Amino acid sequence: MIDWLPSEWTQLSSKYTEDELLTSHYWKTIEKHYASKNRYYHNLTHIYHMLVQAKDITHEIIDYDVFRFAIWYHDIIYKATKKNNETKSAEFAQKSLKLFNFDEKRIKNVVILIKSTQNHDIVLQENNDNAFFLDIDLSILGTDWDIYQTYIKNIRKEYAIYPDFMYKRGRKEAMQHFLKRKSIYFTQLYRDKFEQQARQNIEKEISLL
């Protein structure tokens, strides 16, 4: 993963700029943000898992580069005490991509994909890219219980500033929101693969809060 991520970033970004210094600078910026203090889940490992899953469904994605740029930047700004992380991340991506030879409409779509993670609802209706993007982001919910346990422990560490009674109340509300939805995942592929396990995991987590 350590070598793969910078290689993946270079491969993508070099398609839109010949400035190797800019590409390198952006990678260092990305690495710095995702490796910052208190990033126990929303870190480069999360980005890695999303990019790997994206590779498996390239045939499903209409604009694969927009999709990948959105993955890279969707959590670049992350503070547990803030409610505007998605907006700030989208703004960060927009500012960065303007220095690339990247079409304005495609930049806008990156911004839309990132902002859609705030409420985890589809905003980009043109194709299924937004649906797959949100499903990949939430794929952790449908993993084996042992992996899920590690995930919820890391999320709790990110919210360590809050006492248990506040965290448990907020976490329960957030997870109940997903259970109330007709389906957690938007695509048939991810519903078939993760839906049942995700609901079992969430119900178990809520019972332990």
Over residues 5-21, the pLDDT tens digits come to 999 999 999 999 999 99
User: How open is the CA angle 8-33-36, to the nearest 5 degrees?
Assistant: 120
Q: What is the pLDDT of residue 116?
A: 98
Over residues 164-187, the pLDDT tens digits come to 999 999 999 999 999 999 999 999
What pTM does this model have? 0.97
Cα radius of gyration (the chain):
17
Over residues 96-106, the pLDDT tens digits come to 999 999 999 99
Type of residue numbered 200: Q
Q: What is the pLDDT of residue 48?
A: 98
Over residues 101-121, the pLDDT tens digits come to 999 999 999 999 999 999 999
- Residue 178 host element (H or E): helix 164-180
Domains annotated on the chain, with CATH = 4-137 (1.10.3210), 143-208 (no CATH)
Burial class (CB in 10 A: 0-12, 13-18, 19+), 190: buried
Going by pLDDT thresholds of 50, 70 and 90, the confidence category of residue 28 is very high
CB 10 within 8 A of CB 73: no
Over residues 40-74, the pLDDT tens digits come to 999 999 999 999 999 999 999 999 999 999 999 99
Q: What is the pLDDT of residue 201?
A: 98
Type of residue numbered 53: Q
Going by pLDDT thresholds of 50, 70 and 90, the confidence category of residue 128 is very high
Going by pLDDT thresholds of 50, 70 and 90, the confidence category of residue 188 is very high
Mean model confidence pLDDT for the chain: 97
Q: Calculate helix-pair angle for 196-208, 164-180, nearest 10 degrees.
A: 150
CB 206 within 8 A of CB 198: no
Going by pLDDT thresholds of 50, 70 and 90, the confidence category of residue 1 is confident
Residue 2 predicted with pLDDT over 80: no
